[in-house]
């Protein structure tokens, strides 16, 4: 009997399987078809161009900002170096009545031989040039400052040594800095200083008096320059200022506005 019950199951198995659960109906959402038109292409192209223009503008602005920052840094650097660079330039070229301090000008011994005859006329003896010395101080520095010699006569190519005397009349130490110029301006490129106290801090103690040397010569080439060959009077002027500390670079400098300080007037 059991066999009779199992035999139909084995023979027709699909009749005895558990029917599957019914599936939930799926809801299909139809998306509208997108069509690429010429108008949409134009819109996309315009958007891409606007994006590219914005990127280029940002890049230009960034470059401009970098150049501006570099220019500012360069300007600040030049500001720090303006005073020493100006001094070096004037000392090397004789600009604005500044006597020459270039060591190469007196490194050749032939330059330090007096010229007794006019190089343009050997039969004519060279006349001596009178060099006068002037010393002054600013109102802010209580020193007495005078040349020990009022004038000296030299030949072109002849070396000369003179001294200035500075006296601190106060009861405290003072640091001063001297500026200088030569008149007339056109002789400055030929006025060479081998030793000078200018633009160097000079500390004088209370009540102390010191001698400050100046060792110089007039270059013989002045006799070959039509602008200077007839110059017979030269003035070398020094002015002492109290020293102040530059708040930017910390260097000592004259306590005055040098832009208002007239260096040399071509009046002789």
Measured CA to CA, the distance from residue 159 to residue 168 in angstroms comes to 30
SS3 category, 65: helix
Per mean pLDDT, which range of 27-31, 85-89, 153-157, 208-212 is the poorest?
Answer: 85-89
Confidence of residue 264 (pLDDT cuts 50, 70, 90): very low
HSE-up of residue 9 (Cα within 13 Å, Cβ side): 8
Confidence of residue 78 (pLDDT cuts 50, 70, 90): low
Residue 238 has pLDDT above 80, yes or no: yes
Check residue 84 and give its pLDDT: 53
Region 4-32: mean pLDDT is 56
| Measured distance between the N- and C-terminal CA atoms of the chain, rounded to whole angstroms | 153
Check residue 39 and give its pLDDT: 64
Over the stretch 178-235, which tens digit does the pLDDT of each residue have?
A: 988 899 999 999 999 888 888 888 999 999 999 999 999 999 999 999 999 999 999 9
Read out DSSP for 24-44?
PPP---PPPPP---HHHHHHH
Tokens (6 digits) for 140: 């802010």
In the chain the domains, ranked by start, together with CATH numbers, are 127-254 (2.60.370.10)
Over the stretch 17-26, which tens digit does the pLDDT of each residue have?
A: 555 556 556 5
The sign of the dihedral angle between the CA atoms of 243, 244, 250, 253 is: negative
- Identify any residues that bridge with 117 across adjacent strands, giving them in sequence order: 125
Read off the pTM.
0.57
Other beta carbons less than 10 A from residue 169's beta carbon? 13
Region 234-248: mean pLDDT is 87
More confident residue, 139 or 253: 139
Confidence of residue 95 (pLDDT cuts 50, 70, 90): very low
Query: What's the whole-number average pLDDT of the chain?
Result: 76
Per mean pLDDT, which range of 109-113, 123-127, 170-174, 238-242 is the poorest?
Answer: 109-113
- Identify any residues that bridge with 167 across adjacent strands, giving them in sequence order: 144, 209
Measured CA to CA, the distance from residue 59 to residue 63 in angstroms comes to 6
Measured CA to CA, the distance from residue 148 to residue 204 in angstroms comes to 18
Pair 115, 223: CB distance under 8 Å: yes
SS3 category, 261: coil
């Amino acid at each position: 009997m059991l066999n009779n019950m199992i035999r139909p199951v084995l023979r027709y198995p699909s009749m005895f399987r558990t029917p599957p659960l019914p599936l939930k109906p799926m809801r299909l959402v139809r998306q509208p078809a997108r069509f690429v038109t010429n108008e949409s292409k134009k819109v996309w192209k315009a958007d891409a161009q606007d994006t590219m223009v914005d990127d280029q503008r940002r890049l230009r602005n960034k470059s401009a900002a970098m150049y501006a920052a570099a220019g500012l840094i360069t300007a600040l650097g030049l500001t720090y170096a303006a005073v020493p660079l100006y001094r070096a330039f004037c000392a090397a070229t004789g600009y604005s009545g500044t006597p020459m301090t270039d060591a190469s000008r007196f490194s050749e011994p032939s330059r330090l031989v007096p010229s007794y005859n006019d190089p343009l006329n050997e039969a004519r003896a060279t006349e001596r040039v009178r060099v006068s010395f002037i010393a002054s101080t600013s109102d802010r520095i209580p020193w007495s400052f005078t040349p020990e010699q009022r004038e000296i006569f030299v030949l072109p190519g002849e070396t000369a040594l003179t001294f200035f005397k500075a006296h601190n009349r106060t009861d405290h130490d003072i640091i001063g800095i001297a500026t200088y110029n030569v008149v007339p301006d056109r002789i400055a490129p030929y006025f060479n200083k081998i030793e000078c106290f200018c633009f160097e801090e000079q500390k004088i103690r209370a009540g102390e008096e010191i001698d400050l040397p100046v060792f110089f010569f007039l270059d013989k080439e002045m006799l070959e320059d039509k602008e200077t060959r007839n110059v017979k009077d030269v003035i070398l002027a020094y002015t002492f200022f109290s020293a102040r500390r530059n708040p930017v670079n910390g260097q000592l400098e004259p306590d005055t506005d040098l832009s208002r300080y007239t260096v040399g007037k071509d009046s002789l």
